[in-house]
Amino acid sequence: MTIRGVVNPQSLKDYLGSRDLTEHLKLTKELSFHWANWDQTCLAQRRHYKNFNNNFHLMRMNQALNELKAKPVWLCNKIKVIRTDLFSLYESYLDSRLRLTWFERKEEILFSYDSEQGPYYTLTSMKWLDKDIYAQFVMRKILLEHYTLRSFRLNATIPVLFKMDNDVQTYKDKVEIHQLSEMGFIFKITDKNFLNKIKNSHTLELTIPVAPYKKIDALAMEEVFKRIDQHEISVERDSMLFKLESRILNFYGNLNNAKRSTNEEFYIFARYEDLLPDGHETELRNIFAPLVERTKNHFTQDLQEYEKIKQNKQFVKKAA
């Protein structure tokens, strides 16, 4: 999801209900939060947008998505050609049961933007899918109560040095920590050619900056974010080496998700325990899980205040 501007750091109360639905809450240079990445903020947004007077941002999103109904798409198999539209194609992809059949069929479904005559591409190439538009469909379904909600996670752009045991080169701009939760990381890899390289390797080496996120237990969360934000990351000074077996692709749905990814990037999830310290004894869980948990607790307090403010406003309106 694209960050469209900066909301005051840490201010969840100012963020919910008053911003474009695609916008993130900036916490530091590398960390941000989006309301769709926590079940509690999803529920708060649902309550907010159920009130017709509050639904400007939702109406604007619906309007933008409905414009996709005017964009024709032709689907083709060996028997027939069907004309549909881009809106319906996204809606179909959001149905997990239907989506699964696309990738399990022996005969590929083809699609064309241009005409019944083509040119055609395989539907599973995902060339038709824009990740930002897809994210808006997901948000819309969340607000309309038709989508599974997520446990708390933070978005990140934490740089990672990356090396494979079958490659002499170390890559500094191909991998980053994209999300972090209490369980582990989602790594974003920006070159799909790396998928086969990883499959053919045995061990991945990841040099991860940990120094900015250590020794923050005694600080209030506002100070934690401020300290992390002011830290200028140096790979040599701040990072530690961790090793990850390439068979991580066989777990957590990583390989299937990578194959179905759009553009040139794909994502891999790893639990903190999967990343083994190399040359030191620092455990990633002890550093990042408390940061995520404390941020969630901080936001829980903000959310309670946000709901109180809303209730007071409603009481004043009724009294008037």
What is the mean pLDDT of the segment spanning 77-96? 91
Tell me what pLDDT residue 3 has.
41
Q: What is the band of 10 on the pLDDT scale with cuts at 50, 70, 90?
A: low
Tell me what pLDDT residue 320 has.
56
Q: Is the pLDDT of residue 6 over 50?
A: no
Q: What is the band of 259 on the pLDDT scale with cuts at 50, 70, 90?
A: confident
What is the mean pLDDT of the segment spanning 9-22? 82
Return the residue matching tokens 């205040």.
305
What is the mean pLDDT of the segment spanning 75-85? 92
Tell me what pLDDT residue 7 has.
45
Q: What mean pLDDT value characterizes the chain?
A: 89
What is the mean pLDDT of the segment spanning 180-202? 95
Distance CA 255, CA 134 (A): 20
Distance CA 165, CA 163 (A): 7
Q: What is the band of 4 on the pLDDT scale with cuts at 50, 70, 90?
A: very low
Do residues 245 and 203 make contact, with C-beta atoms less than 8 angstroms apart?
yes
| Strand ranges inside 77-169, DSSP E | 81-85, 110-112, 121-122, 153-164
Residue whose C-alpha is closest to residue 270's, from 290, 291, 246, 292: 246
Tell me what pLDDT residue 264 has.
83
pTM exceeds 0.75, yes or no: yes
Which tokens in the block code for residue 198? 């990883």
pLDDT digits (tens, 9 = 90+) for 127-157: 899 999 999 999 999 998 878 899 999 999 9
Peptide bond into 290 cis (omega under 30): no
Q: Is the pLDDT of residue 191 over 80?
A: yes
Which tokens in the block code for residue 320? 């008037």
The answer for 160, left when phi > 0, alpha when psi is -120 to 50, beta otherwise, is beta
Helices (H) and strands (E) in the chain, counts: 11, 13
What is the mean pLDDT of the segment spanning 112-125? 91
Q: What is the band of 222 on the pLDDT scale with cuts at 50, 70, 90?
A: very high
**CA of 290: how far to CAs of 24, 106, 150, 184, 302, in Å?**
22, 46, 18, 12, 18
Tell me what pLDDT residue 251 has.
97
> What residues does each domain of the chain span?
1-38+151-320, 39-149
What is the mean pLDDT of the segment spanning 189-197? 92
Tell me what pLDDT residue 9 has.
52
Tell me what pLDDT residue 26 has.
94
Return the residue matching tokens 């009481």.
315
Q: Render 11-44 in DSSP notation, one character per residue.
A: -HHHHTTTS-TT--EE-SSSEEE-GGGSHHHHHH
Distance CA 158, CA 69 (A): 38
Looking at mean pLDDT, say which of 49-53, 99-103, 169-173 comes out highest.
169-173
